[in-house]
């Protein structure tokens, strides 16, 4: 490996493919020397890397433990059972399916398990923070099912009651009017706690099922920093790679009653052979998330987002909803500079070594490709050990970068400071120099 930064525990085995080896080395350097503030990303443990790089990738295992279509699955069955048992224990769920290749697949499988084509689903508006799989015109979900939506309350301008939080009156009104068969809670860009209880009440009042999409807060829920939707929602979907800090993938938790429908919707309904190497890595991550250190981590993620948000407010940005209660900070760039778009801000920050993504803000006047907002997340940097002092430095660096966005020399100076900061918090200290 040409880079001093390790990309995996198995770097040395890539000598026969110098092209891929070089690319992995470059990516390891990027992840180690720039600030990872994408809210949906994290740094897995070396153990998760090892399991997901393992020989389980060789095995076909269509079906479920004890009911596979191919032979040779004795060990794989134990791996998948371990992952399922650890996941149900972690969240106190009755049933778990750990096969979804991604969060999007988990959502699709649940819709398929619970609904008929054409049925109505009530979910969060995309421009208020909903996910593509919550009925985007570009997603197959909107072609198969009929989506209606709720959003957040308007921004009030009053710092004590800033608004831009889920409007439960609207959820109830739309539910009464549209009679959805399924209500979906969950969001991809929303910095507040999502309380599952009011959703449950509204779902019961109209006879709807309730799915909680915990793709983002799964780790905060596992770590006790957010209320759990398990036992409240009929089904909970999650990704394993965001705040939960496992390998890239999805999972579904459900009541025992819905177990069969969920399992057959995942396979054979939606997917073929499961990724058992990823499932082993999920098992590793679920065990990690059940330790007391993970509770400390989840609390620190929330504290760090708060510190980052405060530093950014200090630098002149407006925080959508006036603050944060999770791992995300959603910035309205217009108060900082009315001309600055999310697209330009993302590009300039990238040049300074600060990685984040543009995002629409509620009722954004700009298109989803341009946007007036930025979404930042604290989950990955918290894993490296950064805390409040670093969040304050980063908030100031973001302000400086965007202030001096046409000044290449200043961007270069920020980049050097970012590199120095990151080198003090290596994501993989035990792999370094491998
Ligand atoms: C990230 C996300 C998903 C999908 O996850 P992928 O693994 O990218 O498919 C689903 N729902 C929400 C709310 C998300 O934020």
Which atom of ligand 1 is least distant from the CA of 102? 7
Low-confidence residues in the chain, pLDDT < 50? 1-2, 434
The CATH number that applies at residue 214 is 3.40.640.10
Residue 156 pLDDT: 87
For residue 5, being part of any structural domain is answered with no
Specify whether 364 is located in the same domain as 305. Answer: yes
Residue 2 pLDDT: 47
Round to the nearest angstrom and report the end-to-end CA distance of the chain. 8
Q: What is the pLDDT of residues 236-275, one digit of tens each?
A: 999 999 999 999 999 999 999 999 999 999 999 999 999 9
CA nearest neighbour of 389 among 311, 279, 293, 289: 311
Does 383 sit in the ligand 1 pocket, CB within 6 Å? no
Q: What percent of the chain stands above pLDDT 70?
A: 99
| Closest residue by CA, ligand 1 atom 15 | 188
Residue 162 pLDDT: 85
The CA-atom distances, in angstroms, between 119 and each of 122, 147, 355 are 10, 8, 39
Task: Kindly list the catalytic residues.
Answer: 60, 62, 213, 239, 242, 248
Specify whether 246 is located in the same domain as 383. Answer: no
H/E stretch holding 176: helix 168-178
Residue 291 pLDDT: 98
Place of tokens 């409040």: 388
Integer Cα distance of 326 and 197 in angstroms: 18
The count of structural domains within the chain is 2
> In which domain, by residue range, is 337 found?
292-423
Q: What is the CA radius of gyration of the chain?
A: 22
For residue 56, being part of any structural domain is answered with yes
Q: Which of 226, 258, 289 is the last residue of a domain?
A: 289
Does 42 sit in the ligand 1 pocket, CB within 6 Å? no
Q: Which of 224, 255, 289 is the last residue of a domain?
A: 289
Q: Which of 237, 254, 289 is the last residue of a domain?
A: 289
The CATH number that applies at residue 342 is 3.90.1150.10
Does 216 sit in the ligand 1 pocket, CB within 6 Å? yes
């Amino acid at each position: 490996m040409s880079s001093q930064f390790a990309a995996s525990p198995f770097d040395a085995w890539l000598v026969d493919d110098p092209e891929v080896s070089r690319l992995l080395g470059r990516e390891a350097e990027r992840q180690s020397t720039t600030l990872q503030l994408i809210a949906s990303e994290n740094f897995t443990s070396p153990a998760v890397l090892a399991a997901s790089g393992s020989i389980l990738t060789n095995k076909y295992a269509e079906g479920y433990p004890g009911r596979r279509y191919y032979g040779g699955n004795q060990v794989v069955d134990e791996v998948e059972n371990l992952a399922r048992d650890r996941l149900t224990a972690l969240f106190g769920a009755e049933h778990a399916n750990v096969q979804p290749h991604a969060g999007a697949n988990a959502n699709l499988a649940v819709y398929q398990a619970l609904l008929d084509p054409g049925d109505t689903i009530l979910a969060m508006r995309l421009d208020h923070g909903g996910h593509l799989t919550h009925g985007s015109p570009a997603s197959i979900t909107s072609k198969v099912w009929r989506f209606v939506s709720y959003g957040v309350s308007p921004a009030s301008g009053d710092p004590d009651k800033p608004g831009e939080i889920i409007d439960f009156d609207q959820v109830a009104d739309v539910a009464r009017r549209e009679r959805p068969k399924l209500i979906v809670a969950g969001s991809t860009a929303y910095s507040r706690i999502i309380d599952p209880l009011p959703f449950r009440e509204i779902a019961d009042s109209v006879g709807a099922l309730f799915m909680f999409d915990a793709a983002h807060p799964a780790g905060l829920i596992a770590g006790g920093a957010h209320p759990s939707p398990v036992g409240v929602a009929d089904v909970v979907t999650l990704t394993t790679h965001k705040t939960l800090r496992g390998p890239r993938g999805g999972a579904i938790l459900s009541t025992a009653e819905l177990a069969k429908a969920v399992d057959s919707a995942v396979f054979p309904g939606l997917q073929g052979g499961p990724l058992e190497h990823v499932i082993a890595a999920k098992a590793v991550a679920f065990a990690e998330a059940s330790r007391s250190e993970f509770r400390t981590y989840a609390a620190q993620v929330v504290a760090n987002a708060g510190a980052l948000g405060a530093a950014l407010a200090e630098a002149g940005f407006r925080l959508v909803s006036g603050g944060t209660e999770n791992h995300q900070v959603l910035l309205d760039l217009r108060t900082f500079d009315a001309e600055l778009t999310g697209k330009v801000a993302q590009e300039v920050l990238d040049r300074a070594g600060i990685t984040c993504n543009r995002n629409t803000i509620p009722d954004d006047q700009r298109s989803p490709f341009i946007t007036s907002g930025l979404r930042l997340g604290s989950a990955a940097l918290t894993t490296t050990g950064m805390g409040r002092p670093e969040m304050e430095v980063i908030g100031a660096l973001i302000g400086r970068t965007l202030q001096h966005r046409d000044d290449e020399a200043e961007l270069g100076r920020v980049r050097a400071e970012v590199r120095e900061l990151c080198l003090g918090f290596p994501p993989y200290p035990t792999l370094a120099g491998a």
